[in-house]
Amino acid sequence: MVSWCLTAAKECTEVDEIIISTDDEKIKELVSSLEIPNCSIHHRSEENAQDHSSTESVMLEYLESAALAQEDIFILMQATSPFTKARNLTEALSLFNESKADSLLSATRSKRFFWNDNGTALNYDFKARPRRQEYDGLLMENGAFYISRVGDIIQNSNRLSGKIALYEMPEYTSLELDEPHDWIIAEQLMKKYS
């Protein structure tokens, strides 16, 4: 899973440095064996290597030890999103800079109709149900990556803050590898889109 993100990051000419945050020895060995010149490993503390550890706590732990300027751009990529390509990062960085946003997140468009637990429609009028082909839908975080400046992450203790831009990716990129059945779907999508 790590190699997909590594490939996208190393092929993106705008990325200066790649940091893999892990406590796993096998991942460390894999990353080291790839001999990527601008790639290094941040060893997570035991506290930030738990199932309940937040991504923000890992980011902040790294930023405390890194010699980065407040204005440096930080891209958080998640290994559970296997469909991110270098061109997505390039386009998103361009959008981030052009929009003068404080943060950016990747998203996909969902044309599904959602409901609340209490039986009320969340994002449409069921009495005037639109055709999905004519429905703009909603943008949903796909978890692939987030872009912010180092100073904003530290100040807000969050990957997102201020004015947030959205970088839209194709619908299939919303699949995240969190459950065993996700692998079956991902393998088929990779055959089609890779």
Q: What is the mean pLDDT of each run of 10 residues along the chain (194 residues)?
A: 87 95 92 90 92 93 94 94 93 98 96 94 91 88 96 97 97 77 73 78
Nearest to 144 by CA among 69, 101, 100, 89: 89
pLDDT at 97: 97
pTM, 2 dp: 0.89
- For residue 72, the domain's CATH number is 3.90.550.10
pLDDT at 56: 95
Q: Return the SS3 of 142.
A: strand
Structure-derived torsion over alpha carbons of residues 194, 86, 106, 155, reported in degrees to the nearest 10? 150
Report how many domains make up the chain: 1
For 53, phi then psi, to 5°, come to: -70, 140
pLDDT at 183: 65
CA 154/CA 61 separation, integer angstroms: 10
Domain that holds residue 24: 2-193
